[in-house]
Structure 1
């Protein structure tokens, strides 16, 4: 898209690629920032204030750690598992999303075009007018808030050390599966399942995981308590 015919105030600088739209990119980053603020400081403050005083710091740090850990895991391997090249019908190939060449190129979803068995195009790539860096960060804050929403089911129930191990495991083996299946070109994407606002990828997955984790953590503590009572 050439900008030479636009008024000078709207033209992208000579150092910017022709496909870059400053308005699209700005709105993408604003949207990501607003979602990020829901997590930090939003849910950090909320979680620290709704539990008993003895659990306040632990609960706040569960949310803060989750956001920080997801950022690291996301750019190291999880983004491409969610939006990269197909490995399985529900999973992408793991890999870093950190290289300059990767981050400054035009964003593309899914990562590759998909074809029918006869060679006809099934799903083409969508190429929005902003760089991959904006897409990676935008999707990162959604992954982070999904884990933090899950944490709400475990406040006062889980030790921070156990939570530190749980976050990267759940992100890798649960969130990336849903994200790739629905958004990244996986089998649900090709079945025509639409999830514009994250109802399946974020809210349903974190809700089900929260109920499941709370049940098993409570059952574990109950079992340990019975053993301690029996030994006495």
Structure 2
């Protein structure tokens, strides 16, 4: 029995494999990815099927594709520039510096959030940087699915109202100039974050922003059409 107990492959031994950094917790990382998957499933296929089934037949494909396209487009925009605008170094009190989140060195290092550490006037740290026990790749993907579902929730206000070509331009623009502002301000170390505003479940960054944007977009699209 003693011999069998020690015959565990090195890759499965905690903190003994050269390929596994000491800070990585496999359980934390697995749950982070599971959570991201569950959120992603609400979008694709969840809202894709829902949107295609609640409108008239002539709008079904257009409505379903609006959700599918939004998810795919957000993934591309997110890793090229939007992640760091939401969670990167501060450019403005409400916006981070744009940049790619694709480099191997960046993605395999330990996750750290927010990137901008806030200090009191005397130089002491007011809000320390959180360093969870999983890599930046998991953090980037986890935050990406929330950005994607926010835009798709917004799409629900425009079903049967917007041409798919207009929607294809709208998605990257709204992600860049609206979602990233809210995400950085509240989650990424922006001014609301340092004022102590707490948004654990995305009530402001996701639900409020998509709701207000949906009402506004529906109003203006209807006004332009009619």
TM over 0.5: yes
The corresponding residue for 1:42 is 46
- Structure 1 equivalent of residue 14 of structure 2: 11
Q: Which residue of 2 aligns with 1:188?
A: 192
Q: Is 1:118 the equivalent of 2:122?
A: yes
Equivalent residue number for residue 4 of structure 2: none
Runs of 4+ aligned residues of structure 1 deviating over 2 Å after TM superposition are none
Gaps of 5+ in 1: 1-7, 223-232
1:140 and 2:144 matched: yes
The corresponding residue for 1:228 is: none
Alignment-derived partner of residue 150 in structure 1: 154
Structure 1 residue 110 displacement after superposition: 0.5
| From 67, 71, 86, the counterpart of 2:90 | 86
The alpha carbon displacement at 1:113 in A equals: 1.9
3-state SS, counterpart of residue 126 of structure 2: strand
Do the aligned residues in 1 keep the contact of 2:155 with 2:214 (CA within 8 Å)? yes
Name the residue aligned to 1:95: 99
Kindly tell me the number of residue pairs found equivalent between the two proteins: 216
Give SS of 2:157's match. Answer: coil
Output the CA distance in 2 between the equivalents of 1:181 and 1:147.
Answer: 18
Question: Which residue in the other structure is 2:5 paired with?
Answer: none
State the Cα deviation string for residues 130-170 of structure 1 (Å, max 9, x = none): 00000000000000000000000000000000000000000
Partner of 1:31: 35
The CA distance in 2 between the partners of 1:66 and 1:194, in whole Å, is 27
CA contact (8 A) 1:39 1:148 kept: yes
Native 8 Å contact 1:65 1:164 kept in 2? yes
| Alpha-carbon distance between aligned partners in 1 of 2:215 and 2:51, rounded to the nearest angstrom | 17
Counterpart secondary structure, 1:200 = helix
CA contact (8 A) 1:112 1:124 kept: no
Alpha-carbon shift at residue 119 of structure 1 (Å): 1.2
Gaps of 5+ in 2: 1-7
Distance (whole Å) between structure 1 residues aligned to residue 13 and residue 72 of structure 2: 36
Contact 2:118 2:194 in 1 (8 A): no
